[in-house]
Amino acid sequence: DIDDVGHKYYLELELEDVLDKDRTVNCTAEVLYHLGSKSTAPDVQVTVQGELRSTEEADKEFYTRIRSLEKELVAENIPDSHGNVPPELEPIHLLAWAASGYVIWQNSTENTKFHLAQVKHVKQVKRSDEDLQFDYVLLLHEMVSQEVIPWELTLLWHPQRGARVSR
């Protein structure tokens, strides 16, 4: 407890590489939840000890594939009702996971526990610049209340600039 400021947590955890399940790195984090402020995202400081596998090659391949589509990508229910993600949609699911992480961070309190349940809908939007744009409807499961919350967001992505979330 930090008087008149909030509650600070010190965490030690292990991160698993989503692309290489056998690879993990240790991580420490400090998370500060501000007192009485539901509209302020927690302050997070993270230190990662080690490196996860580079995704540069896979990112370029995905980027080229999506840019070369004649028709915009549209997909629903990722994963499906059996928990399956088609291999060609795995990058779309991983981008949704990253975007949901941002939404969760921005909207977390000490009394919430969000989890990405499903990509309900995703639609690629063609752009005149180099970014890829995906408009998502994500279903976030709030584990404490058991509520499933639909969340609309736009994600811009480029392999050199990473992901940016709006809305």
- Domains with residue ranges and CATH for the chain: 6-49 (3.10.450.10), 55-166 (3.10.450.10)
Report the pLDDT value the prediction gives residue 51, as an integer from 0 to 100.
Answer: 85
Contact 85, 79 (CB under 8 A): yes
Q: Which of 85, 24, 95, 26 is nearest to 58 (CA)?
A: 95
Report the pLDDT value the prediction gives residue 18, as an integer from 0 to 100.
Answer: 79
CB burial string 115-132: b at 16+ within 10 A, e below: ebebbbbbebeeeeeeeb
Specify the pTM. Answer: 0.89
DSSP H or E stretch at residue 114: strand 114-125
DSSP H or E stretch at residue 64: helix 56-67
How do residues 15-52 score in pLDDT, each as one tens digit? Answer: 988 777 788 999 999 999 998 867 789 999 999 998 88
Report the pLDDT value the prediction gives residue 165, as an integer from 0 to 100.
Answer: 95
Contact 44, 31 (CB under 8 A): yes
How do residues 65-97 score in pLDDT, each as one tens digit? Answer: 999 999 999 999 999 999 999 999 999 999 999
Phi, psi (degrees; rounded to nearest 5) at 33: -95, 125
Other CB atoms within 10 A of residue 157 CB: 21
The answer, yes or no, to whether residue 166 has pLDDT greater than 90, is no
